[in-house]
Structure 1
């Protein structure tokens, strides 16, 4: 995995960990169910996005050895961006 992507992934994981710790505190405090669910949805969204980033990076690495022209690289990047955005 490219260093920049690894650093970004670590940052996202730390953020998700912080959110989960916050949710744990909310549960311990007996906070409203809807508030807890809202925060859980935010964590799930972040994790889903991380999965897209990891999958996209894997595809890019697998194709790194291939000889793609500039147009093909642009199409590949657009497709990977879509995967990350929608996953």
Structure 2
């Protein structure tokens, strides 16, 4: 099975990469801790959204494939939920 990583997902990660560089720049400039933490919080939120998008889109594909072979789709959903919970 091939996993689906769309251009939108990759663009989202590139934005996160830019945010992380911005946090490092703030640190190098000696910016106040509240500014650094605020930007790190934005990185975390963006990462959470990327994780949710990746899990959701790939879960949909996995369920379709599992249905075609008569497999247990409930197990796939449970695994997806566990992935999301572990990511927090």
TM above 0.5, yes or no, is: yes
Q: Gaps (5+ residues) in structure 2? A: 69-83
Matched positions, count: 67
Structure 1 residue 39, shift from structure 2 partner: 0.3
Post-superposition, which runs of at least 4 consecutive aligned residues in structure 1 deviate over 6 A? none
Distance 2:55 2:15 in 1: 20
Q: Gaps (5+ residues) in structure 1? A: 68-82
Q: Aligned residue for 1:18?
A: 18
Higher relative contact order (CA 8 A, sep 6+): 1
Q: Aligned residue for 1:76?
A: none
Q: Aligned residue for 1:6?
A: 6
Structure 1 residue 62, shift from structure 2 partner: 1.0
Structure 1 residue 6, shift from structure 2 partner: 1.1
Q: Give TM-score scaled by structure 1 length.
A: 0.69
- The 5-angstrom pairing of residues 1-87 of structure 1 reads 1-2=3-4, 6-65=6-65, 66=67
